[in-house]
């Protein structure tokens, strides 16, 4: 245990934002474990809805300018029930009672998650769930707009980034490690660029660094060094150094 979080005020919130593949989720999990805080992977919530949409016939392979797809997504919200549970210290995401956790990290679902996140009705539903969870416990939350929109009054805000090339290499390795060799590196890199564009240019709560967020570029540091850098920032902001 690196933190003595028991001395902190109730309901401390840590917001980690940044683009896809920057290492936010892995870092957030490590920090939450150290602090004995709840970890909430907001990206997994969008991924779960993306997979649910795929299962219900929404096609994300073409241009997202198809308004028919957007209407279909909105119609699916009424039948979409999401629950987040922690099993043996690991967050599991359930949709209508079915565990989606092991099926939401594919490249196809990554593209779907970015697409559904553009739809304001989807984001409003997810944000409502996220704020409700954060209001009742100490939490570490990572995503695209946590510090700017979901939790604008978060105790600590950190924007974690890396070059698109570095992030694509990490994502490609992650896919290969999971036995998924269905995509070339060039495809993963291209999808990364496309997702960055979608996330940063969407009209509703786009990916951007909050004015009071500390910037951390992980392009040239490894995971352990990234975790330590985030830990140091949090200790400083909480006055625990």
Q: What is the token pair recorded at 214?
A: 């500390």
Q: Flag whether the pTM goes above 0.85.
A: no
- For the chain, domains (ranges, CATH) are 11-236 (3.40.50.300)
- Rounded Cα–Cα distance for residues 125 and 226 (Å): 31
Cβ of 90: how many Cβ atoms within 10 Å? 10
Q: What is the pLDDT along the chain (241 residues), one digit of tens a residue?
A: 445 444 444 689 999 999 988 999 899 999 999 998 988 888 899 999 999 999 999 988 766 556 677 889 999 999 998 888 878 877 789 999 999 999 999 889 998 998 898 888 998 999 988 898 888 888 999 988 899 999 999 999 999 999 999 999 999 999 999 898 899 999 999 999 998 998 898 887 889 999 999 999 999 999 999 999 999 999 999 988 6
């Amino acid at each position: 245990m690196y933190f003595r979080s028991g001395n902190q005020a109730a309901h401390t919130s840590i917001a980690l934002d940044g683009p896809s593949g920057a290492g936010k989720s892995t870092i957030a999990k490590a920090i939450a474990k150290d602090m004995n805080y709840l970890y909430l992977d907001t990206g997994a919530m969008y991924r779960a809805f993306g997979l649910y949409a795929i299962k219900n016939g929404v096609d994300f392979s073409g241009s997202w300018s198809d308004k028919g797809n957007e209407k279909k997504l909105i119609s699916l919200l009424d039948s979409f029930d999401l629950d987040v549970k922690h099993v043996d210290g690991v967050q599991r995401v359930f949709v209508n009672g079915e565990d989606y956790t092991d099926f939401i990290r594919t490249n196809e679902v990554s593209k779907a998650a970015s697409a559904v996140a553009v739809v304001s009705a989807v984001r409003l539903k997810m944000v409502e769930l996220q704020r409700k969870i954060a209001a009742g416990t100490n939490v570490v939350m990572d995503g695209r707009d946590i510090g700017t929109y979901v939790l604008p009054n978060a105790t600590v805000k950190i924007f974690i980034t890396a070059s698109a090339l570095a992030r694509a290499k990490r994502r490609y390795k992650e896919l290969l490690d999971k036995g998924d060799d269905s995509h070339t590196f060039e495809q993963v890199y291209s999808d990364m660029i496309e997702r960055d564009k979608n996330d940063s240019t969407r009209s509703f709560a786009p990916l951007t660094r909050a004015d009071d967020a500390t910037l951390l570029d992980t392009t040239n540091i490894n995971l352990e060094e990234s975790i330590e850098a985030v830990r140091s920032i949090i200790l400083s902001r909480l006055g625990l150094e």
